[in-house]
Amino acid sequence: MVKKKIIKIFLFVIMLLVLVFIIFTTRKAIILADIDSKVSNLENTKKNVYLKMDSTTSEYTLETERFIKEDIDKLILKRKNKDGTETSIIQYDTTERHRVYNIKNGSITLVTDTVYGGISPKPVRGSHIESPEGVTPFASYTVILNAGYSDSLPARIINSIFTSVKNVKIDGKECYEISGKYSSSTLYSENTEKISVYVEKETGLTIKKVEIINENGQKSENIVTYEYKFDSVTDEDVKEPN
């Protein structure tokens, strides 16, 4: 009799733990789906986007500015290494071609010029996109970091299981802190120990990412901050370098 009672209690506890697990996983899945929906909507509807990213690592700092206006995509990268050396490039994309310019001592030099066509048409920008009829892009890409992205329901469930979601405030804004090691929406190296992204609840936009790297027992922290503006990019901003 006592043994049966113990078994019943044990099964009840197991069922209770499973129920709690399902509730917490469902909550996280709903939050990630909401973020995915908000960012995908921006990605697929906004034709005028400004993005600034400031990255800080133990080896360098990287400032990235991206200007998108209609079919023009201009990317400016400025890297400052720990030894004092600097590297700057401009990547300029239109529907017809891809160009890369190197900037050194105030001089701009064209180093890459690729014309899209044939079997390698221009990649399509956007999340969960449907390609136009008759167009088969070899790749798609996103500009806005989508912390809730999943390409399928099973992937979203896995992300929800292995992800921690907390409510935090960043600069007075209500945000989610989304942390974990596994995520189909974020790229990381094999030495990454943990990634935390901070997402505005209202907009779904990621405003900060912190990556903990453990390499040969030495831990370092890579920090990226994000700034977005919409419908503010001018013709002058997307002017091609001379």
Where residue 128 falls (left for φ over 0; alpha for ψ -120 to 50; beta otherwise) is left
In the chain, at which residue ranges do the beta strands (DSSP E only) sit? 48-56, 60-69, 72-81, 86-93, 97-104, 107-115, 124-125, 140-141, 163-170, 173-180, 192-200, 206-215, 218-230
Position 119 confidence tier, pLDDT thresholds 50, 70, 90: very low
Q: What is the DSSP-derived secondary structure letter of residue 162?
A: T
More confident residue, 123 or 164: 164
Q: What pTM value is reported for the model?
A: 0.81
Domains of the chain in start order, with CATH, are: 11-230 (2.50.20)
Cα angle: 165, vertex 171, 172; to 5 degrees: 80
Sheet of 192-200: strands edge to edge?
107-115, 97-104, 86-93, 72-81, 60-69, 48-56, 218-230, 206-215, 192-200, 173-180, 163-170
The β-bridge partners of 64 are: 53, 77
Dump pLDDT digits (tens) for 169-223. 998 899 999 997 655 555 556 678 888 999 999 999 999 999 888 877 788 888 9
- Between the CA of residue 189 and those of 103, 174, 182, 184, 213, what are the distances in Å? 28, 29, 11, 13, 8
- Please report how the helices 2-45 and 153-161 are oriented relative to each other, as an axis angle in degrees rounded to 10: 120
CA distance 23 to 115: 51
Dump pLDDT digits (tens) for 125-183. 666 666 555 555 444 556 788 888 887 888 888 888 988 999 999 988 999 999 976 55
